Amino acid sequence: MPLLDGDDDLWLRRFDGAPPDGVRLVCFPHAGGSASYWFTLSRLLRLEVVAVQYPGRQERRREPLIDTITELSDRVFEVIDRLPPRPTAFLGHSMGAVVAFEVAERLTRAHGTGPEHLFVSGRRGPTVHRAGTVHLQDDTRLVAELRGVGGTDPRFFDDPELLETILPVTRNDYRAVETHHWVPGPPLDCPITALVGDHDPQTSVDDARAWSAHTTGEFGLRVFPGGHFYLDAHRPAVAETITVALAGARTPLTFEEAAS
């Protein structure tokens, strides 16, 4: 059953098995990623899990890509703001963490409060800015970047037709996040939990800890063994972290620990 009517429903994928009440978790994919990335994690959560589907991929592959975080966040906010009322938390990985944060800021400006909880994975806090040039590289170097960070099925690299479909989308998303500059504003009021791999080449533990400056609520940091896509190997632990945090939405959560 669609969550929303008309074009709005193109933006969201709801996975089966959600309980009839409780917190809704909206998941935001990484650069080059799609809603289906979150399916496996959703099976470990007794939540209504809704994944955002950006234009230009999978069943939306014929739609124009959106090449700025600002426009993408505006569009996603408009859709999420029309969802049926229910306590809602956000989870974003890498570029998805940036979009989730920007949408949370828009919700706060519109309604005076943000989501129940914001989970930011594999991404440095907004105040930690580094210039990125991956989107300017040729295809060979872009493929090398994707091989290095993981998260892409290795079979794609040996199939020219598949590469032809994923490289423009990935380059577009890298352009969006690498050229994005956060506009300083008031901190959120919801708890933020940052998750990061201890060998992530894109986000150090200190980079992830910088998210603590962006909330007046509680902050938690959990460090996992692994690189940028640590969560592929640690989905049960990630699911446990989310479940524990949301068991008492808007209640104190304070931890800073390494996960095994």
Q: Judging by DSSP bridges, how do beta strands 12-14 and 48-52 pair with one another?
A: antiparallel
Q: How large is the angle between the packed helices 160-178 and 95-111, nearest 10 degrees? A: 50
Token pair belonging to 221: 């940091």
CB atoms within 10 A of CB 148: 11
Tell me if residue 204 is catalytic: no
Distance CA 102, CA 1 (A): 28
List, in order of start, the domains of the chain with CATH numbers: 6-258 (3.40.50.1820)
Angstrom CA distances, 48 to 21, 36, 177, 194, stand at: 8, 15, 28, 21
pLDDT of residue 256: 42
CA angle centred on 234, ends 20 and 167, rounded to 5°? 90
pLDDT of residue 1: 44
Distance CA 170, CA 162 (A): 12
Which amino acid would we find at residue 91?
L
pLDDT of residue 257: 46
- pLDDT in tens for each of the 260 residues of the chain? 455 555 778 999 998 666 767 899 999 999 999 999 999 999 999 899 999 999 999 999 999 999 999 999 999 999 999 998 889 999 999 999 999 999 999 999 999 999 999 999 999 999 998 777 777 788 788 888 888 787 677 777 777 787 778 889 999 999 999 999 999 999 999 999 999 999 999 999 999 999 999 999 999 999 999 999 999 999 999 999 999 999 865 433 333 445 54
Instruction: Tell me the whole-structure pTM to 2 decimals.
Output: 0.90
CA angle centred on 242, ends 241 and 247, rounded to 5°? 105
Token pair belonging to 27: 């998941």
Kindly compute the dihedral angle of the four CA atoms of residues 21, 86, 243, 49, in this order, to the nearest 10 degrees. 90
Distance CA 166, CA 157 (A): 10
pLDDT of residue 249: 53
Q: By C-alpha distance, which of 32, 100, 27 is closest to 69?
A: 100
Count of H-run helices and E-run strands, the chain:
7, 8
CB-based contact 28:93 (threshold 8 Å): yes
Task: Choose, from 94, 121, 212, 260, the residue flagged as catalytic.
Answer: 94
In three-state secondary structure terms, 40 is: helix
- Judged on CB neighbours under 10 Å (0-12, 13-18, 19+), 107 is buried
Contacts of 244 (CB under 8 A, 6+ apart): 253
